[in-house]
Copies of this chain bind each other. A is one copy, B any other.
Amino acid sequence: MPSAMILIADGTEEMEFTITYDTLVRAGVQCRSVFIPEPKFSEFAGSSSPPIVKGSRGINIMPDAYFDASQCGPDKFDVMVIPGGAKGAETMSQNSQVQTLVRDFLAQKKLVGMICAGSLSALTSDLPKQPLTSHPSVKSKLVDNFEYSEDAVVISGNLITTRGPGTTFPFALTLVELLCGKEKRAEVYGPMVFPVGTPW
């Protein structure tokens, strides 16, 4: 069974987090959300019970676990996902252990997904110039270092990026297809009941 690690922090965009986690679970992917503390609270990392996160629009979510870099490597998970939400994405992209993991996952041919402002982690992890998208609000920080695209979902080798809450369904379904195949994607797609004419 494929497995996914989905990062979460205070200020994470809760739709981007939830659509990804829920869609992957529907495909049989084992999901684990891990809490990234703000730098000023990093001394609490490693406590057994993670705190309740307040999402960017105020929904309270309890992560599955604290972030422990030694338990979060590409030997443990098939994909690592970094959602957006300005404040949450800032916390994740500035975390040096997250930056190292992004490089490790790609080096080990595992998938890395970045959503919305989560794409800032491609910059802070010093990834080589390649196709990428993000939320329009952070485009200016990325255009010089990447081949910036405005496609809904951009696949660049094992780095998958997307633009915002409105593109998270096709992003999550792309991860399902890459991890579990086209047939599983179709199996998951039907019961979600997208409107006629939906372009994904």
Contacts and interface: CB of A to CB of B under 8 A. Distances in A.
A186 to B, nearest CB: 14
A166 B33 CA distance: 23
Contact of A166 (B14, B135, B169): B169
Interface stretch (A57-65, A95-103, A123-131): A57-65
B169 A193 contact: no
A136 B190 CA distance: 10
Copies of this chain, tallied across the complex: 2
A76 to B, nearest CB: 18
A59 B22 contact: yes
A58 B199 CA distance: 28
Nearest to A33: B59
Interface string A2-23: 0000000000011100110111
A50 B62 CA distance: 13
Nearest to A116: B193
B25 A193 contact: no
A154 to B, nearest CB: 12
Contact of A62 (B62, B195, B196): B62
A45 interface: no
Interface string A134-162: 01110000000000000010000000000
Nearest to A153: B195
A48 interface: no
A44 interface: no
5 contacts: A14-B21, A26-B57, A152-B195, A163-B193, A165-B192
Given A15-B18, A22-B165, 8 more contacts: A18-B59, A21-B57, A21-B59, A22-B55, A25-B57, A164-B192, A166-B195, A199-B199
